[in-house]
Chains A and B, each alone.
Chain A
């Protein structure tokens, strides 16, 4: 039976982040966390391969506050989730994240296929997947839109700038998938309730033999500034103006601004 792992990141929902217009600082006060959208595609790929080939399928994550994600991920198909929750990972960059995930995957052992999203919803560095492949000594098969298992490995369609490339891999691989590979379903009530009965496996950095020094990011963050746009924000159909009138008012406005004709 093949063993499949899907990795995911628990990220701040970028739609909830507010930017202070004056200081351009980011405000996270009202932010909710979610499983990164791209990783939901990865989880669904693992889930459908599990159903198709009766594979063993588990999820893996790491971070500073990932415990609130466990029920959510288990409602999406995996039979277990292996995770490391450690405050030191709050500042983790792609390099640190890949080291921790690789450690967990080695601990699980004999994993045939690792699936990741093409990038994360917050940083979108698009590097954890290929980094994992390099650290595990697996093939790196990125930007995949179609994936199927073979006896020896896998066949995949990769979408690149200049077209589609169909590749064959013999042996274990890390695959990163594009959002077009599937549409992850919203978990049903039954799946959500079922998730509560599934096991979770908590590991520590010590368990995977990673020192705290190795978890120091090599990129030091020296500031994040929100991008702001100066816009007019004028509503065309206020004061009971009909849509027809608003449309004409807009056309005049755009002509006056020198944009039309």
Chain B
């Protein structure tokens, strides 16, 4: 058992993981599995791979169906670590590889440290409430969130690029509908106004929008507001499986403060809550709060902020 595998459906996340793989590998071989042509393969080598196996996927087959051909590559030498991009497809593939290799899988791994023969890893559990540290021995599979590591191009590297032909698929794609491009980008906003389920109707969100306008901020929301009620686009939803924001001010109303949402606002510099229930969890994590009905408080805030500016 030796070497590190890096598996990604897109080259960019492969490059990021290659930077870490190179650091962990020392003299061991780093193998990258990527989709693309010879050029893509050579890129992966310059970002840290020693050898590249190009996956040639038929257009109507989901990428993660490359499982068996990847396993086959490990028949003669099982790697000590398999890093897979933590996209939805990547998480599916990683779990299947782990099951068939009888290996542990650390999902959305936040850090990996090599400690002799062991790997020490960390990940978030209980909806963002806690960080769990684990140790593993033997082949480890880890999925790595995009953006975790910085890619580093190293001049003058060389290596082998080979082609793999996956086959034996169980799923066929009948249709693909790309996500429409949106202009919403709350992860860079300096001020975010958060909308929770305490809003009684879609019309009431206009108050939050006016407040955001006055503050030059963006609108964000909790998961149910986007996914269940569909009052705001999905790109607005902040939380464990949505956006993570780091604004100077997060001002929310009607947000109870469930742990999954709090995960997404943890790094806000200041948190302000408008909430009628003083026992709501959001009160415990607010810097400032106003107790009251948001239908009364938001117009008052709009007035006060307009005056303060």
Q: Which residues does A use to contact B, with CB under 8 Å? A: 12, 14-15, 17, 19, 26, 93-95, 98, 121-135, 138-143, 155, 158-171, 173, 179-180, 183, 217-227, 229, 231-237, 243-244, 246-248, 250-255, 257, 259-261
Contacts and interface: CB of A to CB of B under 8 A. Distances in A.
Nearest to B120: A222
B285 A250 contact: no
Interface residues of B, number: 84
Contacts of B135: 219-220, 222
A142 B91 CA distance: 9
A225 B297 contact: no
Contacts of A261: 308-309
Given A141-B171, A142-B92, A219 B136 contact: yes
Given A135-B99, A224-B132, A243 B292 contact: yes
Given A15-B259, A134-B100, A233-B289, 10 more contacts: A15-B258, A19-B130, A122-B125, A130-B96, A133-B96, A140-B170, A162-B178, A229-B266, A235-B288, A250-B288
B130 A227 contact: yes
Given A143-B88, A243-B296, A252-B308, A163 B179 contact: yes
Interface of B: 62, 64, 67, 87-89, 91-100, 102-107, 120-121, 125-138, 170-179, 191, 215, 223, 227-228, 240, 248-249, 258-259, 266, 269-272, 281, 283-292, 296-297, 300-301, 303-305, 307-309
A163 B176 contact: yes
Contacts of B286: 231-233
A127 B248 contact: no
B307 A248 contact: yes
A250 B96 contact: no
B292 A220 contact: no
A254 B249 contact: yes
Contacts of B120: 222
A140 B64 contact: yes
Nearest to A133: B96
A247 B96 contact: no
Q: Identify whether the interface residues of B are mostly helix, strand, loop, or mixed.
A: mixed
A162 B180 CA distance: 9
B103 A95 contact: yes
Contacts of A141: 171
A253 B259 contact: no
A251 B308 contact: yes
A248 B296 CA distance: 14
B174 A168 contact: yes
B263 to A, nearest CB: 9
B104 A218 contact: yes
28 contacts: A26-B126, A125-B107, A127-B91, A134-B67, A134-B95, A140-B170, A141-B171, A160-B89, A166-B177, A167-B171, A169-B171, A218-B102, A218-B103, A218-B136, A219-B121, A224-B132, A231-B284, A231-B285, A233-B286, A234-B288, A235-B290, A247-B290, A248-B304, A252-B308, A259-B248, A259-B249, A259-B270, A261-B309
Given A167-B172, A217-B104, A259-B269, A121 B127 contact: yes
A71 to B, nearest CB: 25
Contact of B173 (A166, A243, A250): A166
Contact of A165 (B87, B136, B176, B296): B176
B170 A233 contact: no
B227 A179 contact: yes
B216 to A, nearest CB: 9
B89 to A, nearest CB: 6
Contact of A224 (B130, B272, B296): B130
A229 to B, nearest CB: 6
Among all A-B residue pairs, the 8 with the closest Cβ atoms? A139-B170, A127-B95, A247-B300, A130-B95, A131-B99, A134-B99, A218-B104, A247-B304
B271 A231 contact: yes
Contact of B99 (A98, A124, A183): A98
B215 A260 contact: yes
Contacts of A254: 249, 270, 272, 288, 308
B300 A244 contact: yes
A244 B297 CA distance: 8
A122 B128 CA distance: 9
Contacts of B305: 251, 260
A261 B215 CA distance: 8
